[in-house]
Structure 1
Amino acid sequence: MKDKLLNANFPKTAEGRVYHVEVKRGEVANRIITVGDPSRAQLFAEWLDKDTPIFRCNSARGFFTLTGKYKGVPVSIMGIGMVLDGQLIIIRFGSCGTIGKGTVGHMVVPKGAFAVTKNFDYFYNYYEDPDMTKNEEKNMKPYNVSEVFYADQEICELLKTKLLNYLPANEIHTGLNATCDSFYSSQGREDDNFADHNKELLTYIKKKHPQAESLEMETFMLYHLAKCSNDALLIKRKKSITKERINEIDKMNENKTNLEIEIKYDENIITTIKKPKNSIRAAATMMIFADRKTDEFIDSSRKKYLETIAGLAVLDVLVSIKLEEEQENDDNEGVWNLIN
């Protein structure tokens, strides 16, 4: 990004483009699919509405964004999702390995996820104490396994229902996902070139979380961010206020409950004060590429089939869920409102 960035706390350009991703308000929809494979994003783009242009942005940091419409509803396909207000729905669609009941070619819709992270301090004195006896004395473990953060269960059920149109029930698994901070050591892959001390890691994971089904590197952080997300306490938007609108606002304030919003008006500014709540609804579905129990790996034809049926299922679920609040479309500021 060559433009000057403003605000060290949340870097943006004068145009409103954020650091790293290089998109601004109006270029990202409130319904988002995250993918790791750029070719998978292009596959999604082929299914978007043909009468709406597709906005594309490739940032200097390697992030990509595609925004268009699917069945008339604005959606974005991204490597990461950020930089817009209102409620978000984010569904990760990717690949994983399995340590559970599933096998290669099956699908996982994890109801929850936990993090598996390397305990770097454990390896600090490796050369002085290669057997890690001092760590054992301190009861220090080489890997940390977190508690479970749960997905949006409504979205999970919708994903499972859609996938049942294409796959038998015994090929769709809804256990827990282990999100690991590396592809090798933290997923129990052994390499004699490194002292990873991970020989018993998968056993330890299954002992702490018996419902562990899948291993990958993304989903936990998405579920964690959704759990920690909240609506901005104060949102101001300029609107032209008619007498009818004033009466409507007064009526809403008169009938509000503790769970509802309070709306005030002052000249041409409407101020919406909200009770904090989770503003991100997140779920995921993954194709099982690797079976860690049998060392089997998926073949290309099955991969292509799953990408197609699961990709369409994700899009259908994404546009079927009503958002409490999303970007106003009547001001035509969204790139999905551009005309070919």
Structure 2
Amino acid sequence: MQLGPSELILNADGSIYHLNLLPQDIANTIITVGDPDRVSDVSKHFDSIEFKKGKREFLTHTGMLNGKRISVISTGIGTDNIDIVFNELDALVNIDFENRIVKSDKIQLDIVRIGTSGAIQSDVAVDSFLLSEFAMGFDGLLHTYQSDTIQHKEISKAFVQQTNWSSNKSVPYVVKCDESLAQQLLSNRIRFGTTATNIGFYGPQGRKLRLTLADESLNNKITSFEHDSIKITNLEMETSGIYGLSKLLGHRAVSMNCILANRVTGEFSKNPQKAVDDLIQYTLEKLTNT
């Protein structure tokens, strides 16, 4: 079936609409970061950079490191942006733009998020590295797609029951990382965790400035949740969308979190830039030397 102009939207030069990229512009191994300024923090470690392009908050660098071609792309903040980036990345490798049809032979991308996060368990140390084994999404994105087969509904059901989750909010969904890609990134520096993906930074993460929260005990409920030894370890704003869309589209994805804050102890990293750069270098080494 041919995809219409309002479904597969291309720019005048044939590039995909938001990312402004052509199929040859990206590698099969992709690092995503939220902040466009962090793209160069990653690509500065490449042996060479062959391509740079940006549009809106979406900045892409593609280059070589240790003989491996890698792209790094900024997504901006939130799963709404993840919906754009991951659908368009998949389109770049799995849709024939000229004929506007889905290709019969699919390409699988390896996608690693390198991001910052706040811990909500006292034993998750500031400046540590945490790999999201599971992601719990409070954002509702995955419910817009047929996704029952990839969700771990026993976990989300237990969470709803234990926290007395409001029916006014989207039902949380849970997705697991790609285990084979996770194994490639493991070492004794990495802790597994369950990451909650929030729809905002302030109220949705229990922060209070001038507005009154609908549930003052939200973070305590999230922190105290436990099901089959699974506890929520940290909060951020993209991982559930990354895991959900990657699994639905047939790609491998892992989220690597640099813990900059601990909401329980009140600590914040004394040198956040160094901590994030350490995670960048660690991840690049694991992706290119194994």
TM-score (norm 2): 0.74
Pick from 66, 72, 86 the counterpart of residue 71 of structure 1: 66
SS in structure 2 of the partner of residue 26 of structure 1: helix
Identity %: 28
Higher helix proportion, which one?
2
SS in structure 2 of the partner of residue 9 of structure 1: coil
CA RMSD of aligned residues (A): 2.2
AA matched with 1:219? T
Taking the aligned partners of 2:225 and 2:281, their CA distance within structure 1 comes to 35
Please state if 1:62 is matched with 2:57: yes
- Matched length: 233
Report how far residue 228 of structure 1 moved. Answer: 1.2
Equivalent residue for 2:174? 148
- Seen in structure 2, the aligned counterparts of structure 1 residues 147 and 140 have a Cα distance that, compared at 3 Å, is closer
Please state if 1:226 is matched with 2:252: no
Taking the aligned partners of 1:197 and 1:105, their CA distance within structure 2 comes to 31
Kindly provide the CA deviation profile for residues 219-238 of structure 1, in whole angstroms up to 9, marking residues without a partner as x: 11000101211xxxxxxxxx
Equivalent residue for 1:181? 199
SS in structure 1 of the partner of residue 234 of structure 2: strand
Equivalent residue for 2:273? 304
Taking the aligned partners of 1:194 and 1:320, their CA distance within structure 2 comes to 48
Which 5+ residue runs of structure 2 have no aligned equivalent? 76-84, 95-106, 141-164
Equivalent residue for 2:263? 292
Which 5+ residue runs of structure 1 have no aligned equivalent? 1-5, 119-138, 230-277, 322-340
The residue correspondences of 1:262-273 to structure 2 (distance < 5 A) are: none
Pick from 93, 97, 103 the counterpart of residue 84 of structure 1: 93
Report how far residue 77 of structure 1 moved. Answer: 0.3
- Seen in structure 2, the aligned counterparts of structure 1 residues 97 and 142 have a Cα distance that, compared at 3 Å, is farther
Report how far residue 211 of structure 1 moved. Answer: 1.4
Equivalent residue for 2:120? 99
The structure having more radius of gyration, on CA atoms, is 1
SS in structure 1 of the partner of residue 182 of structure 2: helix
SS in structure 2 of the partner of residue 293 of structure 1: coil
AA matched with 1:213? T
- Seen in structure 2, the aligned counterparts of structure 1 residues 140 and 213 have a Cα distance that, compared at 3 Å, is closer
AA matched with 2:93? L
Pick from 131, 148, 160 the counterpart of residue 109 of structure 1: 131
Taking the aligned partners of 1:198 and 1:89, their CA distance within structure 2 comes to 38
Please state if 1:203 is matched with 2:220: yes
Report how far residue 116 of structure 1 moved. Answer: 2.1
TM-score (norm 1): 0.63
Taking the aligned partners of 2:67 and 2:134, their CA distance within structure 1 comes to 31
Taking the aligned partners of 1:109 and 1:26, their CA distance within structure 2 comes to 30
Kindly provide the CA deviation profile for residues 132-159 of structure 1, in whole angstroms up to 9, marking residues without a partner as x: xxxxxxx944544523200011222322
